[in-house]
Amino acid sequence: MDFKGLTDDGDGPPWVAADESGWTGGAVLHQRVMTHATVRVDDRLAGALLSELRSNTGLRQSRELKFWQFERDKPLAALVDLLGEGGALHGRASVLVADKVALTVSTIAGLLIQRDVEPLVLHGESLLGPQWTELAAALAGFAKGTRRNGRSVDMDELFALLERARETCAGHPAAEVLAHLAKSRERAEELLTEEPPKLDPLPSMLAEHVERRTAELGEFRLLHDRHKMLEQEQRAHTFAIGASADHPSIQIADLVSGAGRVVFEQRQGNPSKQGAALREVVEPFLFGT
């Protein structure tokens, strides 16, 4: 349902606000890391926290706060204080992380050979180097290349790539996975006649996060930022959708989701000022990849 009013824990089960960062649909090589954040906070508390942030940091130039605004030292330090021990949001946040490249390889490889592909997913990037993203791009292209939507797939190129990757990984368990993939052309031809697999991670990430929060909180109400992928109901007492401009709690979830993304990217070797400053306070509530 589309929620118009302000959320308030005082009139029922606790509210949890949710938002994502890094969503690009099925474009898995653009913004590789995606995060989904939930924060146990209602609009009443979130509104007070945002007012305090604006007052203390000078962030008054826009109607709603976004994570990209927290690059300067003062706003960044205020966000660290908010999430760290003793801060108003300490212990309230949770961030699920997805590596969309690894997810694509796992999804398509699993469909092609219908067996465990974990050795390839876990070690493929370190073994293959630049070939890893080339492989992911080819598999993502295969996923889109169904006869139903009129796209074509260069099967010779795809399977030559799989064979080269197998040679590169020789002697490692990932090579066995790639050997099976290199022999899966018949199965690949069958898959081309079917509906393309969904590579957008958001629906499954939301479902996983709801399950995690249910185990932690029991009954709760979920307010998610408006998104075209979220038409289905979730297993929460209430599943509501709203615009971030209307809900301070969703703006808080946006800040937390962005913080989780830059910290995970920092861990992966893509450093940033924000990632370095936030790492100590954010890493305890990151989970997933």
Instruction: From 180, 178, 174, 177, select the one nearest 162 (Cα to Cα).
Output: 178
- Computed over every residue of the chain, the mean pLDDT equals 89
- pLDDT-derived band at 203, boundaries 50, 70, 90: confident
The model's pLDDT over 121-164, given as tens digits with 9 standing for 90+, comes to 999 999 999 999 899 989 988 887 655 555 567 889 999 999 99
- State both tokens at 1: 């349902």
Residue type, 2: D
- Between the alpha carbon of residue 261 and those of residues 20, 31, 81, 188, 228, the distances in Å are 9, 10, 18, 34, 21
How large is the C-alpha radius of gyration of the chain? 21
Please say if the pLDDT value at position 229 is more than 70.
no
Top-confidence residue, 5 or 30: 5
Task: Report the 10 Å Cβ neighbour count for 126.
Answer: 10
Top-confidence residue, 191 or 229: 191
Q: How far apart are CA 178 and CA 151, in angstroms?
A: 25
Q: How far apart are CA 84 and CA 165, in angstroms?
A: 43
Task: Report the 10 Å Cβ neighbour count for 27.
Answer: 12
Predicted local distance difference test score (pLDDT) of residue 230: 65
Which residue ranges make up each domain of the chain? 9-99+199-288, 100-191
Q: How far apart are CA 256 and CA 19, in angstroms?
A: 9
Average pLDDT of the segment spanning 190-198: 83
Give the largest CA-CA distance in the chain: 63
The model's pLDDT over 167-184, given as tens digits with 9 standing for 90+, comes to 999 999 999 999 999 999
CATH 1.10.150 fits 9-99+199-288, yes or no: no
Average pLDDT of the segment spanning 109-126: 94
Q: How far apart are CA 33 and CA 23, in angstroms?
A: 8
- State both tokens at 76: 């960044």
Instruction: From 14, 17, 20, select the one nearest 49 (Cα to Cα).
Output: 17
Q: How far apart are CA 66 and CA 62, in angstroms?
A: 9
Please say if the pLDDT value at position 278 is more than 60.
yes
The model's pLDDT over 24-73, given as tens digits with 9 standing for 90+, comes to 766 667 778 899 999 999 999 999 999 999 888 888 767 888 898 898 99
Predicted local distance difference test score (pLDDT) of residue 26: 62
